[in-house]
Amino acid sequence: MNDALIIVGAGHAGGRAALTLRKEGYTGRLILIGDEPHLPYERPPLSKGLLQGTADLAGYSLCDRERLAELDIEHIAGNPVIRLEPQQHRLQLADGQWLPYAGLLLATGGRARRLPQEHANVLYLRTHDDALALRNALTPGTRLVVVGGGFIGLEVAATARGLGCEVTVLEAGPRLAARVLPPVISQALLALHREHGVDVRLNVALESIQADSVQLVDGQVLPCDLVVVGIGMQPSIELATAAGLEVGQGIRVDEYLRTSAANIYAAGDVCEFRLDGLYQRQETWRNAEAQGRHAALNLLGREVPFDAIPGFWSDQYDWGLLTVGVMSPSMVTRVLPGGGLLLFYLDPEQRLQGACGWATGNSVAKDIKLCERLISARIPLDVSSLADAELSLKTLLRG
Ligand SMILES: Cc1cc2nc3c(=O)[nH]c(=O)nc-3n(C[C@H](O)[C@H](O)[C@H](O)COP(=O)(O)OP(=O)(O)OC[C@H]3O[C@@H](n4cnc5c(N)ncnc54)[C@H](O)[C@@H]3O)c2cc1C
């Protein structure tokens, strides 16, 4: 009993860690604890395919019930962990049960940041159940106000337009998705949404939400049927904080994804790790996938430092955004045929540190893959070659 490995949070990172532990030959007791009623699933389709009606939960679950049983992974659903006692190597579930562990992974992700105003017509989007509620509300002709011009808000706006809703996006800052994207891509996003008939308003502050309208601080009243709030997420750090683990903006880990407590690791959205010299969290599919796998290896004592290259994507209308690596002040722009962009970020030695692609469909994916290889290759690059859309990135890779 005492040798159990326990994973708290049966989301993407937690689910991936459980599957990896078995794949890597761990045969001991393995418990995956979640507070949602579902099997572990990936969240990107929640703002895209699920709302459009082209994807369902079974399609984006990490595995099915039969596979969990086959792998002897004990999945405790709908029963959150409410207390953690690192000194005693045990935790308590909401139903009162205590479970001892030999090794623990905290993959508790986060929840949607909420506005103080609660109304039946105000929806959030973090879970499958949130997405189902939103899908039912997005009927043709619905007047939707999206609060927040970040990725989730913009993806909901794009999907809602496709479903025939009238959409207004309210962004408090001067540009869209400013936290993670350069101004040139914010501009492109703004133009795309306006082209599709979305009323995007920048630099606006919300005063109040009523049952049938949203009021702005400048006095304007926007009549609406539905409000979707996408103003970021709050990492679920409470368990770790109460247990005395070191916590910053997330649960702080070292390069092995180890927290400040013995035999406790963290992974995914909740994990604060050093990247590019700074402690930060990554709220991306790619990070949940990589850290989930990685934490599993280190729970098995492999002691492998985590140094995966970060990245994310977003799909809006028929355009795709893909990033890899990290941004730097030194940026080179390549204009792609069809109006897309490929941005390269260089370090002081002219080596590629990050890239961002924006183009129709999935057309920039190949270039972003090559950029990832260029980042790993760490070779100095010629700025004019990078800017030249005629020149294949493969050539640069060959040196
Ligand atoms: C709508 C949406 C669209 C997205 N689209 C993209 C995209 O296009 N591209 C991209 O790169 N990323 C995207 N992401 C981000 C990506 O899905 C997340 O980064 C990823 O899901 C994080 O995985 P995680 O396992 O860390 O957290 P989660 O998937 O949130 O899983 C954490 C789980 O732990 C549970 N939990 C929390 N506390 C407890 C507790 N005390 N006890 C038990 N269980 C607990 C939570 O309920 C949850 O089920 C999107 C996210 C959302 C919400």
pLDDT in tens, 303-345: 999 999 999 999 999 999 999 999 999 999 999 999 999 999 9
The pLDDT of 359-375, averaged and rounded, is 96
Atom of ligand 1 minimally distant from the CA of 286: 11
φ/ψ of residue 28, rounded to 5: -75, -175
CB 229 within 8 A of CB 112: yes
- Residue 393 Cα to ligand 1 middle (Å): 33
The pLDDT of 179-202, averaged and rounded, is: 97
> What's the pLDDT at 365?
97
pLDDT of residue 28: 98
Residue 152 has pLDDT above 70, yes or no: yes
Long-range contacts of residues 324-331, Cβ cutoff 8 Å, at least 24 apart? 324/354, 324/355, 324/368, 324/371, 324/372, 324/375, 325/352, 325/353, 325/354, 325/355, 325/371, 325/372, 325/375, 326/275, 326/276, 326/353, 326/354, 327/182, 327/353, 327/354, 327/356, 328/353, 328/354, 331/182
Q: Residues of 303-325 as b/e, b for ≥16 C-beta within 10 angstroms?
A: eeebeebbbbbbbbbebbbbbbb
Separation of alpha carbons 10 and 29, rounded Å = 16
Q: Establish whether domains 5-111+233-299 and 114-229 are of one fold.
A: yes
Q: Whose CA is nearest to atom 31 of ligand 1?
A: 11
> How much is the pLDDT for 1?
46
Given a cut of 60, whether residue 25 has pLDDT beyond it is yes
> Per-domain residue ranges for the chain?
5-111+233-299, 114-229, 318-397
126 close to ligand 1 (CB < 6 Angstrom): yes
176 Cβ closer than 6 Å to some ligand 1 atom? no
Q: Which residue has the least CA distance to atom 49 on ligand 1?
A: 11
The pLDDT tens digits for 110-141 are 999 999 878 889 999 999 999 999 999 999 99
Query: Separation of 309 CA from ligand 1 center, angstroms?
Result: 19
Of 125, 285, 368, which is best to mutate to test ligand 1, by the most ligand atoms within 8 angstroms of its C-beta?
A: 285
Confidence of residue 2 (pLDDT cuts 50, 70, 90): low
Is the pTM of the predicted complex or chain greater than 0.95? yes
Q: Under CATH, domain 114-229 is a member of which superfamily?
A: FAD/NAD(P)-binding domain (3.50.50.60)
- Say yes or no: CB of residue 35 within 6 Å of ligand 1: yes
Q: Would you say the CB of residue 291 lies under 6 angstroms from ligand 1?
A: no
CB 168 within 8 A of CB 84: no
The CATH classification of domain 5-111+233-299, taken from the options 3.50.50.60, 3.40.50.1000, 3.40.50.2000, 1.20.1740.10? 3.50.50.60
The pLDDT, as a whole number, for residue 266 is 99
| DSSP helix, strand, coil percent of the chain (3-state; round to 5) | 30, 30, 40
- For range 210-226, the mean pLDDT: 96
Cβ within 8 Å of residue 370, ≥6 positions away: 393, 394, 397
Please give the mean pLDDT across all residues of the chain: 96
Query: Is the distance from the beta carbon of residue 107 to the nearest atom of ligand 1 less than 6 Å?
Result: yes
Ligand 1 geometric centre to CA of 226 (Å):
24
Residue 155, pLDDT above cutoff 60: yes
To test the ligand 1 pocket, which listed residue (6, 12, 138, 286) has its Cβ within 8 A of the most ligand atoms?
12
What is the architecture of the domain spanning 318-397?
Answer: 2-Layer Sandwich (3.30)
Q: How far is 177 from 241, CA to CA, in rounded Å?
A: 30
